[in-house]
Each structure stands twice: as structure tokens, then as C-alpha cells.
Amino acid sequence: MSGSGTVVDGATASQSETEGTVLMQTQQPGLSNTRTYGSTEDSHISTSTDNDGDQNTCHVDVENGDDIKYRSCCESTTRCCCLPCSMGVAICTGLCGCYKYNKSVSNRRLETTRRTLRAGSKNLPRVVPIIRLMTDRAVPTWLPCVPGGARVRRTRLTDATIASGNSTLPPLCGKWAYPRSRCSVADALRDPDGTGARFVLYLHGGAFALCKPQTMHDIIIRYALTVDAYVLCIDYRRPPAHKHPVALNDCVFAYQWLLRQVPAHRIVIAGESAGGGLASMTLSTIVGLGLPVPCGAALVSPWVDLSDTHSASFAANAAYDYLPVDMIRMFAAMYAGKPADPTASAKNHSLEGFPPVFLQAGGSEVLLSQIEAFHQQLRDAGVHVEFDKAEGMMHVSPLFAITQAAGPTQGLSRICDFLSNRLSNIPLPSASGTRASPSTSDVGDVSFNAHSDV
């Protein structure tokens, strides 16, 4: 499989007259006989070229754009003996020496993780409580692969500074991550200017319905250490119990709670996947309410169009990315209804008045087309935007910096450099058609009833 996730059509395999499972063999120049097991209906033999020029032959499900289901042998004298299943392929990636990948951006740990996620996302039942057993688990901060030097603390954003109008609501919870060299969160909030504190409001992804702040321990620690900031990851309410716009209201509430104690020029917003869409809609709501905007925003693989599952990148990158289309549709309907409420998609909100934005997308992710279109929308709205297309990377690749692969690590570094520069008030590079940074004055008397059930 190539690093870009592109599959080139090859010769069509002859079908057996008998139905059911058959054995297909193909012979290509420079390759040994490759055996694939499976039904011949709606399938064909395809070849893909790796970045290093090697070719692999594999069985691809044409009808649903499924992943390479069965392991193919390369020119190595070592032959794979995996079971003919997608999980077997994932195990083979981690243990076998004949698997090919782009070593300039990936490594064996990243490829094993990606293929395991693909296998899991296909085989898990489409039942939210069961999926959450996997996605809501905490990443232990004591793991050797998680950076040290940071503290992680639970927090509750109470209604002491912003009246919610509904005393029966539970307080909005979350997690703080900050460098050990910094003072406590309470001291930083009490005197942000005196302590030089910088803050990142981080909105996690997970298709609106999955993941929790504890799932993001590794990434928020990396943000905290690299940006030298206090990172607040909130636990916004999720569907199916809470549909749009409840999650958005929680995000705006969290920003206003933070803004009551910290000037806007010391705050940036970051979000990935569904959290990236929420971050964009939060900025739109902030501008609409006349609140001071943060000094910058980072949107990583943002899910900005919930009605899109047919754009070009879904077809081109389905064989590489780990997001199954049926699951995307399921969570979109769960959060925004069916058909999707247009106001649940960030692309349908006004982008006027946004602060400088760092927009990142994986070059081999299924959401690439809608992110590129969103990039153009930001430019048309006069927003200063830096677009980073990480070639060969899947959806939200910085989350996998834990694998120490070059692609995710470098992508995360570029995001953190942008946020650090914005918090340090470093002048932006000149660009035509950009808008100056909005005012960073204090919040004043503006209030918003965000933490509500509506």
C-alpha cells in the first residue's frame, strides 16, 4: 500500500464457476505468485506502488471501498502466514518483516496502529456503549511513551462566574495538563499576566459521541510541554443523549468561563476531527456574540461537513484511512439528525472575524476534500490561514505522535509552533487578502447562557 493511499487498478481476476470462497492467483513481473482468499463477486485484483518503488498485489472490495482484506506476499523470501482476516493483517504488520511502508513519515508502530484501527472499526458492532468501552478508556500517564514533565488534574467548570439558568445541570468537567515547572492552575488563573500563563482550550474529537478527556492524556501533555501552556480539555456532553447544539453550547460556555479570568490574547483554541468542527463553530458563535476572540486557532482534520460521504477523497483514500463510511453516517445522524441539521456543520457558519487559523489535514484521509474546500472558505472570508497537508498521513495523524513516527511528530510540531507564535504575539507573515487579528480586550459585561440543554 502506498503512503498516499492511492490504489491503481490492475488486471481483473477470472472468476470461478463455483460460488463461495475461491482461490485466485496472479502473476506479475518481478513478483512471486500472490494468493488471495475471498469471494470474487464485486472484486478485482489491484496493484499499488510504494514510495520506494516496490509493488504489492492485493484483493480489494470494489463495492464499498474496503481495505485490503487479505495479506499479499512481497519479494522478500520471508512469507506471511497470517490468518486471512483484517486483524491478521494488522498483526502481520507489526511482526512480519516483509510489510512495505513509507519510512520517511511512518514506522512499524504507526502502521500497526492504523491497520488495527481499521480492523477494529470494521468489526466492532455499531452499538455506542460497546464502542465507548474502547474509546473512553484513560491513557495512563506513566506509560514510557507518554512524555514526562507534566501534571494532569481533573477540574470542574462551575457556574460561579456564569449563571447557567438551570441549577439542575451538572458542572462541566474536564482535564488540565500543564508543565511541572509552572505554578498551579489556580495561581495561573488568579494572575495570568503576572505568571505569564498561556492557555489552550482543547476540544477533543471522536465523532461527537466517543472519547473523553482522559483518552487525550498523551496529546494534551504534548501540547502543554511544547507550547508551554495550560491545556484545558473539556468533557462536553455527547449524543445520543445530547444532540446538537448541546456540545457547541458547552464549548462556548468553557471559553467564556476561561475568558472571565484570562484575557483573550493569552488563549488559543485547538480541536481535532469533530472537535475541530466544534472549535470552528465556537469561534463563529464567539464572533456573533461580540466576545473577544482568542489570538489563534488550530483545526486538525476538522469534520466540517456532516452531510459529506461522497466527495473525491472518500473514494480515493478509503483503502488507507481508518474511518469507515457507515460509521461516519451513523454518528452524523446521531448528532445532527437525518437529514443532518445544516447548523451542525461548521462549513455552514459564518467565518468572518476569525483569528489566524492553522488548518491541517492528512494527505490520505477521507475528509481531505471537505477540508480543502473549507480552507478556500476561510480564505474567501479574509481569514489568515496556514494550510498544512501532511502527505501520506491518515485522519488526525498528530494523535499518533505516541508511536514516534516522523509524520505525526512533525505535524504536531508545526501545530505547536503556530500556537506558540500566536501566544507570543509574533507578527504573522504577510499575505494578501488576510484580516488583521481581532481585538483582544477583556470580556466586559457580555454574558452567554451556553451551558444549557437547548
DSSP secondary structure letters along 339-350: TTPGGGSGGGS-
In 158-259, the DSSP E strands lie at 172-179, 199-203, 230-234
Residue in 43, 86, 273, 307 annotated catalytic: 273
Q: Is 395 a catalytic site residue?
A: yes
Going edge to edge, which strands form the sheet with 385-390? 150-157, 172-179, 230-234, 199-203, 267-272, 297-300, 357-362, 385-390
Q: Give me the sign of the Cα torsion angle 135, 139, 144, 148.
A: positive
The structure's pTM equals: 0.77
Cα–Cα dist 422/265, whole Å: 9
- DSSP summary character for residue 427: P
Cα–Cα dist 277/372, whole Å: 14
pLDDT at 96: 54
Nearest of 219, 234, 277 to residue 398 by alpha carbon? 219
Nearest of 429, 430, 396, 432 to residue 411 by alpha carbon? 396
pLDDT at 6: 36
Residue in 59, 204, 375, 395 annotated catalytic: 395
pLDDT at 425: 85
Residue in 4, 284, 301, 365 annotated catalytic: 365
- DSSP summary character for residue 171: P
pLDDT at 150: 96
Per-residue burial over 418-436, b = 16 or more CB atoms within 10 Å of its CB, e = otherwise:
bbbbbbeeeeeeeeeeeee
Directed axis angle between helix 274-289 and helix 246-259, to 10°?
60
Q: Enter the C-alpha cell of residue 39.
A: 469471494
How many C-beta neighbours within 10 Å does residue 330 have? Answer: 16
Q: What residues pair up with 389 in beta bridges, in sequence order?
A: 361
Rg, the chain, Cα only? 23
CB 204 within 8 A of CB 275: yes
In angstroms, the first-to-last Cα distance of the chain is: 46
Nearest of 426, 339, 346 to residue 386 by alpha carbon? 426
In the block, which residue shows the cell 511512518? 106
Give per-10-residue mean pLDDT for the chain (454 aa): 38 38 34 31 37 36 36 35 47 52 82 90 92 92 91 83 50 94 96 95 97 96 98 97 95 95 96 98 97 97 96 93 95 94 96 97 96 98 97 95 94 97 82 35 38 44
pLDDT at 92: 55
433: left (phi over 0), alpha (psi -120 to 50) or beta: left
Distance of CA 206 to the CA centre of its chain: 8
Cα–Cα dist 293/443, whole Å: 10
Nearest of 266, 269, 296 to residue 197 by alpha carbon? 266
DSSP secondary structure letters along 360-386: EEETT-TTHHHHHHHHHHHHHTT--EE
Cα–Cα dist 242/334, whole Å: 9
Identify the three-state secondary structure at position 170. Answer: coil
CB 190 within 8 A of CB 382: no
Identify the three-state secondary structure at position 51. Answer: coil
Q: Is 164 a catalytic site residue?
A: no
Q: What residues pair up with 63 in beta bridges, in sequence order?
A: none
DSSP secondary structure letters along 384-396: -EEEEEETT--TT
Identify the three-state secondary structure at position 200. Answer: strand
